[in-house]
Structure 1
């Protein structure tokens, strides 16, 4: 039996060698060993929550990455996706300060793995909490004809928790409202962001309150006239020439349903008696409830007075205008003075526009028959003079006339 096995030994050795040769060829040509590099594989920190509970937090950036090299047969290597590569760093047990934390990498399959760096530099700090002010920034503008009211927000401060240096770098916790042609009140909440002095967001800190509730009224604008409420009398020998306010209009603001009902704004009521010179003073506006002004709540009130001057104009008897005399009758004017006088009391500006030519004396003869009468003539002057003159008086006030027949 042993002779038989010895006789077949060499063929068996050659068969095994041939099989090995074929296997090496197949593995080297069809499924060779390859190397694949994956860059920027993120490092996951283990036990971070446990460290937070013990009062420590990572200072600075936590986005650490490494390079991973995978070596193995092509079919094994190619089956490994980037998402299956897990890099971890366990920070449990490390103390405050700068620590070199070892990195571990796991991948599936029968492959060799190498990575760089093997350690990452992490600084741990004690966790603190501080209150920081809340600021609300408004960008943009409301619709034309509207303006922003007084902004209110809650809370006004929030607690910021994290590594000491990071919390100390937070200057303000901020929310941003972006406006675009709004015309209705804003009452909603906005996300908060912790910002440093350069308005950069501070990472790796926690806000006790992540949103701020905002109430932002949007008021309607309207320009209305100002109505001066003044009781004023002039001293003897003077007259009130003009009462005015500057500015004469005011832009008001308020909720639309209130603004729509306002047509003008009164000043505060004042009374001034016996003035003989121009007066200028500041007076307040009497604003309805719910109405505010864009600019000042006071205006300049100006009262101007003019001194009165008396002037007498002579009107010849022949210039009297007798109207509506009945046919067949005539007037005997011998009892009328040769000249009548018209006394006008007014300021100098008014009197400069008056002369005898624009003064008419009229006697209306309507219904008068033959007889002797005492009548009161009417003095007619241009409308503006009549309106602005303090007093117009005819001297004498009445005259005697006789109505007789033309045949007499």
Structure 2
């Protein structure tokens, strides 16, 4: 039994050594040739600098790769990997559009090669530069309260392949307004190139990616309501409104010109006890109140309104020769008086006392003088300046 086991072990050892010797013989003496396919080998464009100097870029951007067959001794192929294969080519006489990149390869001398295709089709686009307008896009809870948005600049230079730059309609700057204050605020906004549909255009470069935006809010102002009669001869002083004044909102420059809101022209003879009348809200101004109720008033409560021009306001103690425009006096000043008698403009003189020294940072009160004793008098606006 023991002799039989020794005999089997000896046979196995001899068989193993025979196989090793045979393999060494094949590799050392025969070493057959074989062909191996290497896929997705990167391709280098050797004249890329020339393309850049001609303002040409590869578009659409993609990894330039190709497949290659390598033929050689089996032993050499087993040592070869993708990193040992360097494929390159140049684009001769490059133009905008379709070009051919003819391929070459560097690898070991012991092998030969064959490409699936000797060239790659490469599309080139002209690299162009253009100036595009910036459009603001205001979003957030208080977006309707924004008056103006002032950007650091109104345009941005962009660059990229012609086909992409031509897609850009404008540069979008989105302003987030989720809170409101009386003061202006500055927000850093991101600039995004978009097409005509507002979709982002990828693949273009901006010389400025973000900038500051100064946001100002619309202002508010309370103004009286003025009754307009269809017949100018009708005495509107015998009627009153509820409400007597409304709050309006708009740009500061526009509100400064508005001292009252008119009703639509109304036939006073048709009022009876009362009548609802629409208000004429100027363009660019908003108000939550759109109408008012007009009704006759008691004679005791007769209120008269007199409108003065700014030049009719006397400037007393005006040693510095200050003009009405320096004090921001509006074009018209409303004076409402309550009196038992009819009052005319000649009965009331408006004046501002400059107290011998004008201060541009100070508000000045519009005063009046009259020989008539009024039940009440109201000057709108009551203060000017600043």
TM-score by length of 1: 0.43
Q: Decide which structure has the larger Cα Rg and report it.
A: 1
Higher strand share: 1
